[in-house]
Amino acid sequence: MLKYKEILEILEEVAEKNENNLKMILEKKLNEREKRVFRWLFKEYEDPSKKRWFDPHHIIFSTNFALSLVEEENLDRLIVTAIILHDSGYFAIADKKNWINSNSRIIHMQEGAALASKILYEQGFNSKEIEKVVGMIAVHDNPYIGIPITGSDRLGLRDCDRAWVMHSLSFYKDLSETGRNYENPKELLLDRIVQFYSHEHPFNKSEWKVDLQELKDNGMYIEKPVYKFTKQYIEKQFNERIMESNDRGLLSNRELFTKYLEENIINSMKKIKV
């Protein structure tokens, strides 16, 4: 298997190489107001201090997912605008290596809500629309700090944000980052199965059996998707990651893994069907 440092290098290379193409694919799907907000964000991302390396791809993928979710589940289209802006509060976090701690999560929600209010006003959104979007952004990471989310729009945004976790770029990023301490992809997959399904998951092989210790270790992270469309998508992503973990050649060959990732992220930008 490739070393984690090398996997991370491949992820960043693939992300940088494909970003402009993915942006063009997504922009064709956005309405004019969404497009203006999206272009504002990516103009800000030209300053490296305002982003983590994976932020552009998180926004691109989750926005694309939101377009399908709002259509399939008949949700408010403002979720699309909210997901574009939802992590803009990380502009205010100087040490982005510690983005995962509770304090950073709280600050980025607060800062993101304030910044979104300003940007949406400048882009011609009315007061009710701004209130909705700001409300979504202000609480979107609450479950990570032990506070539940309620309301269809806010739960929809949360599903869009969480769907990114099982995307190939995000999954292998989390596997490879220092401090995660996973020996192999199967260890991370088992944790993620618990976090998304608790003990009620569709992966019946004995190697994915969940025990009480795993439930205890992941207890604070367990959060099932809300909408049927999201649940079906997440199951599909798990099946892809499980297949990859069983393919020893894929994760042992730099050229093969690079090509696979590029194909995977391009395919993820097609209209999502489950």
Question: What are 99-122's pLDDT values in tens digits?
Answer: 677 788 899 999 999 999 999 999
Question: H-helix or E-strand containing 3?
Answer: none
Kindly indicate the confidence band of residue 65, based on its pLDDT and cuts at 50, 70 and 90.
Answer: very high
Token pair belonging to 125: 């959104």
CA separation for the pair 134, 126 (Å, rounded): 12
Give CA separation, 199 vs 46, 112, 195, 232, 247, in Å: 43, 34, 9, 17, 25
* Environment class of 174 (CB within 10 Å of its CB; exposed 0-12, middle 13-18, buried 19+): middle
Nearest to 33 by CA among 73, 82, 91: 82
Kindly indicate the confidence band of residue 162, based on its pLDDT and cuts at 50, 70 and 90.
Answer: very high
Quick check: 206 pLDDT over 90?
no
CA separation for the pair 222, 216 (Å, rounded): 10
Kindly indicate the confidence band of residue 36, based on its pLDDT and cuts at 50, 70 and 90.
Answer: very high
Q: Average pLDDT over the chain, rounded to whole?
A: 94
Q: Would you give the distance in Å from CA 57 to the centre of its chain? A: 8
CA separation for the pair 137, 25 (Å, rounded): 25
| pLDDT attached to residue 215 | 95
The label of the residue with tokens 């909705």 reads 132
CA separation for the pair 188, 217 (Å, rounded): 13
Q: What is the pTM of this model?
A: 0.95
| pLDDT attached to residue 255 | 96
Tens of pLDDT, residue by residue over 2-22, are 999 999 999 999 999 999 999
Quick check: 61 pLDDT over 80?
yes
| pLDDT attached to residue 270 | 81
| pLDDT attached to residue 179 | 66
Backbone angles phi, psi at 87, to 5 degrees: -105, 15
Q: What percent of the chain has pLDDT over 90?
A: 85
| pLDDT attached to residue 102 | 79
Average pLDDT over residues 196-212: 91
Average pLDDT over residues 119-139: 97
Average pLDDT over residues 148-171: 97
The residue type at 201: H
| pLDDT attached to residue 22 | 96
